[in-house]
Structure 1
């Protein structure tokens, strides 16, 4: 539970500063890798447990990782002999690591120097049932040119997408608003979940859903990270016609159906399922659309359009 006595809380000034694990995950990130690793070295927070994990890159990344590991003897190096995917690669380092807090750091992104210090301070100021601190980020191009912010001013004093803090399960079901690379996760939260689900093609939606059932989230209104947008990034593959993630999304929605407790949460899941149903039909993924329609029936009454899409998908599957 969130109040487990095994939790490592940095709330008392008399305690030593908490150790923060950074799992630096690399798969063919050679053009960006030095900038990413230099951003770890530039952190103003010194209490770091750094794990360099290469998921069977073929572009020279392992040589760069070996170089940095040799120069920084406290860093740990895991060179995986075959590609196992983000979830399993992350778990292999996470289960060996020691930090009270954990960053899942894709090495095509960049950490700003005060990133870890700011987020540790946010945890120190937060209740002990906060499992995640996330923040704003600057989006950059493949060449590193600025593309704007993830959370942008909406002209009315707020941000778009609107961040949410506290008990956010309904929010994470209904909409995407968290910039995944900005998260600092409490180790106890990750341990209770058993780490990432290695049967899935991606990790963030599943983690948000499972973590937010029993843990609060906290938004830190600061730009802490640069997130790189390029054609080979995982996020760039989502919602393409043959993307590898739709089956994982359906599985997460199945988990969510078992977790929702309130009418608000069930309605939020229905919003998600309707969105995913329409995406599946647009990409001619009719079998998956049928699965999504079946889940939607368990959360709300189908609209005329929902029923039409369900019938169409059943005929064309």
Structure 2
């Protein structure tokens, strides 16, 4: 339709040569047609660029940004958004696949919920061979979520952690993204920080449908959360920075209690990894949070 709002999809690629074409096709083949696609390659070491350039021969008008060095997803996405025009935004990794009707469902939901800052759904988790592993949110035989609390996702539920986020299925409202000045480029990952900052002022709406196929790779960012590596340490330190930011954003006892629950989780996680310096910093944040709770009560 002529009046359908423009949706910008930023597809970021790093060593995703076997998967990027399928990811790009999932954008082009949406039943929703008013889409702007921007592709960013973050200095891939495989033949991702060649695959993308070959695919672009059929779509020469699509913008392709080739970074000489890997500047990270956060900075890449922000830079691509600065060149985009869409009223709604999707952050798509080049190994993930959008469902054919996903964008239509998200736009319909936004138009019915003008106060929403983010619309998200479930995700089908697949492996390197496209085989189903599981669903991000557990589902019944009708593919409907078992835990209905997802419909009430808000600042506190995101902060305390658990079964409350499905970042890969999210669509952002551009005005909100710009209000928040985009992703924090000092962090190793983007979603937890952005969702928390967004949820302070804006609603989150859950659609009970799988909106994306999320590919789990052995070398993916997700796997680094559970491995001992320099990158893993940066991810865990970024989480600590996000929790410090939440401490400053909190205004209610319940929010500090949610933060305390997340701190406990991070303490256990980093103790197992023997990240002693980070454990000490988390423990200090724990003491400050507990003090806030006592004062407010």
Secondary structure (helix, strand or coil) at the match of 2:152 reads coil
Residue 74 (structure 1) shift: 3.1
1:255 lines up with 2:245 in the alignment: yes
Within 5 Å, give how 1:25-40 maps onto structure 2: 25-40=12-27
Give the aligned length.
286
> 2-side partners of 1:215 and 1:271: how far apart?
23
1:203 lines up with 2:190 in the alignment: yes
Q: Deviations over 1:5-40 (max 9, x none)?
A: xxxxxxxx9x82100000000000001111111111
Residue 233 (structure 1) shift: 1.2
Q: Equivalent of 1:132, from 118, 126, 132?
A: 118
Secondary structure (helix, strand or coil) at the match of 1:249 reads helix
Q: Equivalent of 1:101, from 78, 85, 88?
A: 88
Q: Where do 5+ consecutive residues of structure 2 fail to align?
A: 293-297
Secondary structure (helix, strand or coil) at the match of 2:184 reads coil
- What residue is the counterpart of 2:130 in the other structure? 144
- What residue is the counterpart of 1:171 in the other structure? 157
1:295 lines up with 2:297 in the alignment: no
> 2-side partners of 1:161 and 1:83: how far apart?
39
Q: Quickly say closer, same or farther: Cα 1:62–1:94, change in 2 above 3 A.
A: same
- TM-score norm. by structure 1 comes to 0.86
> 2-side partners of 1:17 and 1:75: how far apart?
20
Q: Where do 5+ consecutive residues of structure 1 fail to align?
A: 1-12, 303-317
- What residue is the counterpart of 1:80 in the other structure? 67
Q: Quickly say closer, same or farther: Cα 1:77–1:62, change in 2 above 3 A.
A: same
Q: Deviations over 1:216-275 (max 9, x none)?
A: 100011111101111111111113233130110111011100111111111000000110
> 1-side partners of 2:249 and 2:291: how far apart?
19
Residue 197 (structure 1) shift: 0.6
> 2-side partners of 1:72 and 1:153: how far apart?
37
Q: Equivalent of 1:264, from 247, 251, 254?
A: 254
- What residue is the counterpart of 2:107 in the other structure? 120
- TM-score norm. by structure 2 comes to 0.92
Residue 125 (structure 1) shift: 1.1
Residue 184 (structure 1) shift: 0.4
Residue 162 (structure 1) shift: 4.1
Secondary structure (helix, strand or coil) at the match of 2:200 reads helix
Residue 102 (structure 1) shift: 0.2
- What residue is the counterpart of 2:276 in the other structure? 286
Q: Deviations over 1:139-182 (max 9, x none)?
A: 11111101121111379x8524841436x110100114211110
